[in-house]
């Protein structure tokens, strides 16, 4: 009875044909939800379908794990990330399993059809933006490439806030993603681990007469893993996302409870469990709060302990840890993994420093995602030492050896010692987490060619000088399964009809579309698909904002976090330029445009929130103006997230990628748009540069200063005021905003934005204004030639193969992790 299921039993339990699926859904509905089909709610049906799909994922998953048991030599990737922005799971899993149509058919026997259920699903918003979504794309590609991998992170009870727009302003609402039940995960309380905080350390001599250190912690927290299966596309490999939830070791302090102080008894539990309560909603500057450091150490310690435990269970020894595990640090948020692995190897497993350090460096790789100085994490030494006294000692020892090394190579160069030190001694002493990550890793990479160059020549130049061979570029990518197959079935069907169905897992095959770029019939079908997608978006816009937009207009879209460096305000200045032209001459023949914005602002980022209000104010001014006659529509689509993105990317004609050159490390939205046939208007920033190289300069609208020009212009003393004075068009729009016409109830509302631009303009909005407006005129010209536009759109898709996350993951596997697929 204890034997595992036979193949035949597996087939009846997890068959993939419509009849087996229908039976499985009916069973789950009845035995899990206690419902008959006739009375089942949408959520009942959704959960039943999700469980039926999960069974089929675990069937693969169990096989993958069994396989690893028998292959103790296989190296496993551990992707350590404070964020995983997974998006809705149902449709993506059905696509990867290859049973979307079979399930659609199965569901005809139930009161709610499959598309209704897909629409009903809420996503776990366990990330802020690009960095968290990249981690999710990489998990999809790792499984698809059959590379054994685990994503380790935090199971936040509350993810990124939900955004509402009230009276044009952003309002934040709590994200209760668990409230209707989350069917994709399975809790594994029996695999919980203990994580300690605070207290003191003491030295002692062990039985062999060796000096050792003991950490007498003040607080113990349990980490309980929750596993979500990650199935690859049309393969048998099923990996894991393992997220940790913080739980009190002992729920009640019985001493307090017994004397009737119930409140005091649960206090400790409440405080412990806040560790995994909520995701910090900042997308650029990390918050230096104790709770955030606790979150970081919490999940990292859980992960490293879990990895060590499994390594040893499968017969490994501490000194061969790196043979089994390749761990990637997704930015510096998990960088405390470096001293944590050292601590475990030294204090718990008795390794000597040099041996432990070799294992550590060979285990870790570090990916940097930003050059913004305010985003480079530091932790005050006092805070770090109070929470992690043993780790601070280890950091000091790493630093002592590092500094010795620098002095050996560069005798007398104390400036260099100060710059490279793990400890920033200027002002209040703090630990530079990027330096700790570099020190503890055998490989460091940027996320696009330009970004890596800037890292190497600026932020990490001293490190490159010491260890040039450790630096790499791995340009980001996105998964074509979610961002094409799942979200754009129309385009995917058209592509498959033309070139066959191999492209989702071999994206370079899209090249074969080039021969259809001049085929009038194919172009017409291409336009039909785009039009359908635009109709779908238009309906969603009307439903969520009440604004009516026209699918025949040019859909000009900017969706991403709201940030000054991403320059949503540059887009607004262009909008107002168009508006003023129409007001001056209402009979002007202009290209009708629908300009869509979407994205969340960090709750404490005043200017970003003001930018949202500005967009909605421009919409209020423009959308119903009789002189405009519907030729310009401005929409702020609320609550941009993965699910909303899946409606928006397929419907875009023009993709706005207009960050100040040198600021956007890579961008990944730029890739999602181009893969769905949008043409990019953009600066030479991040991966835009590589996208333009691939699709061809004639199929990309380029404008603006280069990163070098930005630097030189700033060095020469940039004066935005002079730009304003010398450009009457720019003056017109700035004056319009400053006049209060957009905010009659509070005429000075946008003053901070205007003053910021006129007196500081750190992101060179005014410097790039005219080039942007001129470039938009070229966009109009191409749009007026519908055939030429379609051709450029087809060629964009045909030449985007490089930007599959499968290519990125292959790069990591070959150049950084040295891991190989394990075929199921
Ligand atoms: C983003 N970073 C980059 N950080 O801005 C973007 O260019 C890049 O394409 C993407 O990473 C993937 O490499 C990003 O999203 C965050 O959200 C952090 C969250 C935690 C606080 C610090 C920023």
pLDDT (tens digit per residue) in 714-724: 999 999 999 99
Residue bearing the bigger pLDDT, 796 or 288: 796
Q: Can you tell me which atom of ligand 1 is nearest the CA of 282?
A: 21
DSSP state of 567: T
Q: Would you call 369 a catalytic residue per the annotation?
A: yes
Residue that is written with structure tokens 């002592």 in the block: 400
Q: Would you call 313 a catalytic residue per the annotation?
A: no
How confident is the model over 746-766, as a mean pLDDT? 98
Q: Can you tell me which atom of ligand 1 is nearest the CA of 686?
A: 7
Residues 198 and 266 in one domain: yes
* 130 — pLDDT class (breaks 50, 70, 90): very high
Distance CA 185, CA 228 (A): 4
| Selected catalytic residue, list 668, 680, 683, 790 | 668
Residue bearing the bigger pLDDT, 710 or 262: 710
**Which of 138, 333, 369 has most ligand 1 atoms within 8 Å of CB, for mutation?**
369
Residues 113 and 150 in one domain: no
Distance CA 120, CA 110 (A): 15
**Residue with CA at minimum distance from ligand 1 atom 17:** 283
Q: Would you call 672 a catalytic residue per the annotation?
A: yes
Q: Residues 6 or more apart from 812 whose CB is under 8 A from it? A: 77, 138, 328, 365, 474
How confident is the model over 13-18, as a mean pLDDT? 89
Does residue 736 sit within a domain? yes
Distance CA 324, CA 289 (A): 34
Does residue 768 sit within a domain? yes
Residues 162 and 280 in one domain: yes
Q: Could you report the per-residue pLDDT of 772-785, keeping only the tens digit for each?
A: 999 999 999 999 99
Centre of ligand 1 from the C-alpha of residue 282, in Å: 10
251 pLDDT exceeds 90?
Answer: no
Domain extent at residue 558: 491-803
* 265 — pLDDT class (breaks 50, 70, 90): low
* Contact between residue 644 and residue 671 where contact means Cβ atoms under 8 Å apart: no
Centre of ligand 1 from the C-alpha of residue 369, in Å: 6
Does residue 152 sit within a domain? yes
Does residue 481 sit within a domain? no
Q: Can you tell me which atom of ligand 1 is nearest the CA of 133?
A: 12
320 pLDDT exceeds 50?
Answer: yes
Does residue 773 sit within a domain? yes
Give the pLDDT confidence score for residue 369 in this predicted structure: 98
Q: Which residues line ligand 1 (CB under 6 A)?
A: 128-131, 134, 282-284, 286, 369-370, 375, 447, 476, 664-668, 686
The secondary structure element, H or E, covering residue 264 is helix 262-273
Centre of ligand 1 from the C-alpha of residue 7, in Å: 44
In order, the DSSP letters of 573-596 are: HHHHHHHHHHHH-TT-----EEEE
Residues 518 and 637 in one domain: yes
Here the CATH number for the domain that contains residue 209 is: 3.40.50.2000
Q: Could you report the per-residue pLDDT of 465-508, keeping only the tens digit for each?
A: 999 999 999 999 999 999 999 999 999 999 999 999 999 999 99
**Residue with CA at minimum distance from ligand 1 atom 12:** 131
Centre of ligand 1 from the C-alpha of residue 370, in Å: 7
Count of structural domains, the chain:
3
By percentage, how much of the chain surpasses pLDDT 90? Answer: 91
Centre of ligand 1 from the C-alpha of residue 783, in Å: 33
Q: Can you tell me which atom of ligand 1 is nearest the CA of 447?
A: 13
Centre of ligand 1 from the C-alpha of residue 283, in Å: 6
What tokens appear for 23 in the block? 């039976």
Residues 647 and 750 in one domain: yes
* 509 — pLDDT class (breaks 50, 70, 90): very high
Residues 248 and 273 in one domain: yes
Of the chain, the end-to-end C-alpha distance in Å amounts to 26
Residues 65 and 78 in one domain: no
Give the pLDDT confidence score for residue 256 in this predicted structure: 64
C-alpha angle with apex 643: 174 to 545, nearest 5 degrees? 75
By percentage, how much of the chain surpasses pLDDT 70? Answer: 97
Residues 261 and 327 in one domain: yes
Residues 137 and 25 in one domain: no
708 pLDDT exceeds 80?
Answer: yes
Instruction: Compute the mean pLDDT over every residue in the chain, rounded to the nearest whole number.
Output: 96
* 588 — pLDDT class (breaks 50, 70, 90): very high
Any bridge partners for residue 364, and if so which?
Answer: 327
Centre of ligand 1 from the C-alpha of residue 738, in Å: 32
* Contact between residue 303 and residue 337 where contact means Cβ atoms under 8 Å apart: yes
62 pLDDT exceeds 80?
Answer: no
Q: Would you call 609 a catalytic residue per the annotation?
A: no
Does residue 161 sit within a domain? yes
* Contact between residue 594 and residue 552 where contact means Cβ atoms under 8 Å apart: no
Give the pLDDT confidence score for residue 1 in this predicted structure: 41
Give the strand pairing for 200-205 and 211-216. antiparallel
Does residue 822 sit within a domain? no
Give the pLDDT confidence score for residue 610 in this predicted structure: 98
Residues 507 and 623 in one domain: yes
* Contact between residue 562 and residue 169 where contact means Cβ atoms under 8 Å apart: no
Q: Cα dist. 418→309, 382, 393, 415, 492 in Å?
A: 38, 19, 19, 5, 54
24 pLDDT exceeds 70?
Answer: yes
Q: Would you call 580 a catalytic residue per the annotation?
A: no
User: Backbone phi, then psi, for 84, in 5-degree steps?
Assistant: -135, 110
* 11 — pLDDT class (breaks 50, 70, 90): low
Distance CA 821, CA 450 (A): 30
DSSP state of 713: H
Distance CA 420, CA 418 (A): 6
Residues 524 and 630 in one domain: yes
| Selected catalytic residue, list 133, 600, 672, 802 | 672
Give the pLDDT confidence score for residue 340 in this predicted structure: 99
Residues 436 and 538 in one domain: no
Does residue 568 sit within a domain? yes
* Contact between residue 817 and residue 77 where contact means Cβ atoms under 8 Å apart: yes
209 pLDDT exceeds 70?
Answer: yes
Q: Would you call 530 a catalytic residue per the annotation?
A: no
| Selected catalytic residue, list 155, 343, 369, 802 | 369
DSSP state of 158: B
């Amino acid at each position: 009875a204890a034997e595992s299921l036979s193949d035949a039993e597996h087939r009846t339990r997890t068959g993939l044909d419509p009849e087996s699926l229908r039976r499985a859904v009916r069973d789950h509905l009845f035995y899990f939800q206690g419902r008959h089909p006739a009375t089942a709610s949408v959520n009942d049906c959704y959960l039943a379908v999700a469980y039926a799909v999960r069974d089929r994922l675990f069937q693969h998953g169990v096989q993958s794990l069994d396989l690893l048991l028998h292959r103790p030599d296989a190296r496993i990737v551990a992707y350590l990330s404070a964020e995983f922005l997974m998006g809705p799971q149902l449709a993506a899993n059905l696509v990867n399993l290859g049973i979307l149509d079979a399930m659609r058919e199965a569901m005809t026997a139930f009161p709610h059809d499959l598309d209704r259920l897909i629409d009903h699903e809420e996503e776990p918003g366990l990330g802020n933006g690009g960095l968290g979504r990249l981690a999710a794309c990489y998990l999809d590609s790792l499984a698809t490439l059959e590379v054994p991998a685990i994503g380790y992170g935090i199971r936040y009870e509350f993810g990124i806030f939900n955004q509402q727009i009230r009276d044009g302003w952003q309002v934040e609402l709590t994200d209760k993603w668990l409230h209707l039940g989350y069917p994709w995960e399975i809790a594994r309380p029996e695999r919980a681990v203990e994580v300690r905080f605070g207290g003191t350390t003491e030295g002692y001599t062990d039985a062999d007469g060796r000096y050792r250190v003991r950490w007498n912690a003040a607080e113990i927290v349990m980490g309980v893993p929750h596993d979500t299966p990650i199935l690859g596309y049309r393969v048998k490999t099923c990996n894991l996302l393992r997220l940790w939830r913080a739980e009190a070791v002992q729920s009640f302090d019985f001493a307090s409870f017994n004397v009737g102080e119930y409140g005091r008894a649960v206090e400790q539990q409440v405080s412990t469990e806040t560790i995994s309560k909520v995701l910090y909603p900042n997308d650029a500057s990390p918050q230096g709060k104790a709770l955030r450091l606790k979150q970081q150490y919490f999940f990292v310690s859980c992960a490293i302990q879990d990895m060590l435990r499994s390594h040893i269970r499968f017969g490994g020894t501490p000194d061969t840890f790196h043979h089994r595990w390749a761990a990637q640090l997704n930015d510096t948020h998990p960088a405390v993994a470096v001293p944590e692995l050292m601590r475990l190897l030294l204090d718990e497993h008795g390794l000597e420093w040099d041996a432990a350090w070799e294992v550590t460096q060979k285990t870790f790789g570090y990916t940097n995602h930003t050059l913004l100085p305010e985003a480079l994490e530091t932790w005050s030494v006092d805070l770090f030492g109070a929470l992690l006294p043993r780790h601070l000692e280890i950091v000091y020892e790493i630093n002592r050896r590092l500094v010795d090394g620098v002095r050996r190579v560069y005798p007398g160069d104390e400036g260099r010692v100060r710059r490279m030190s793990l400890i920033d001694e200027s002002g209040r002493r703090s630990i530079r987490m990027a330096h700790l990550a570099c020190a503890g890793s055998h490989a460091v990479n940027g996320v696009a060619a330009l970004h890596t160059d800037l890292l190497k020549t600026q932020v990490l130049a001293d490190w490159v000088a010491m260890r040039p061979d450790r630096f790499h570029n791995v340009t980001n990518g996105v998964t074509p399964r979610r961002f094409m197959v799942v979200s754009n079935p129309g385009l995917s069907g058209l592509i498959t009809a033309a070139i066959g169905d191999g492209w989702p897992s071999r994206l370079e095959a899209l090249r074969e579309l080039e021969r259809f770029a001049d085929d009038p019939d194919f172009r017409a079908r291409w336009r039909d698909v785009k039009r359908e997608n635009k109709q779908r978006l238009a309906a969603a816009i009307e439903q969520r904002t009440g604004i009516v937009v026209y699918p025949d207009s040019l859909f000009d879209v900017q969706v991403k976090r709201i940030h000054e460096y991403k320059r949503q305000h540059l887009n607004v200045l262009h909008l107002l330029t168009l508006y003023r032209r129409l007001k001056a001459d209402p009979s002007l023949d202009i290209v009708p445009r629908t300009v869509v914005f979407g994205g969340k602002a960090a709750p404490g980022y005043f200017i970003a929130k003001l930018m949202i209000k500005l967009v909605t104010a421009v919409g209020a001014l423009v959308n119903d103006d009789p002189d405009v006659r519907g030729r310009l529509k401005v929409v702020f689509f609320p609550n941009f997230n993965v699910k909303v993105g899946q409606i928006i990317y397929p419907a875009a004609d023009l993709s706005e990628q207009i960050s100040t050159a040198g600021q956007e490390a890579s961008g990944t939205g730029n890739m999602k748009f181009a893969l769905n046939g949008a043409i990019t208007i953009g600066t030479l920033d991040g991966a835009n540069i590589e996208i333009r190289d691939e699709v061809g300069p004639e199929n990309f609208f380029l404008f603006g200063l280069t990163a070098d020009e930005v630097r030189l212009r700033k060095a020469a003393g940039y004066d935005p005021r002079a730009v304003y004075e010398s450009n009457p068009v720019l003056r017109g729009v700035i004056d319009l905003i400053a006049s209060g016409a957009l905010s009659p109830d509070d005429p000075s509302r946008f003053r901070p934005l205007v003053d910021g631009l006129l007196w500081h303009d750190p992101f060179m909005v005014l410097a790039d204004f005219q080039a942007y407006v001129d470039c938009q005129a070229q966009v109009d010209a191409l749009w007026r030639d519908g055939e030429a536009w379609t051709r450029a759109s087809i060629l964009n898709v045909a030449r985007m193969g490089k930007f599959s996350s499968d290519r990125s993951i292959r790069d990591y596997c070959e150049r950084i992790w040295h891991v190989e697929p394990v075929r199921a």
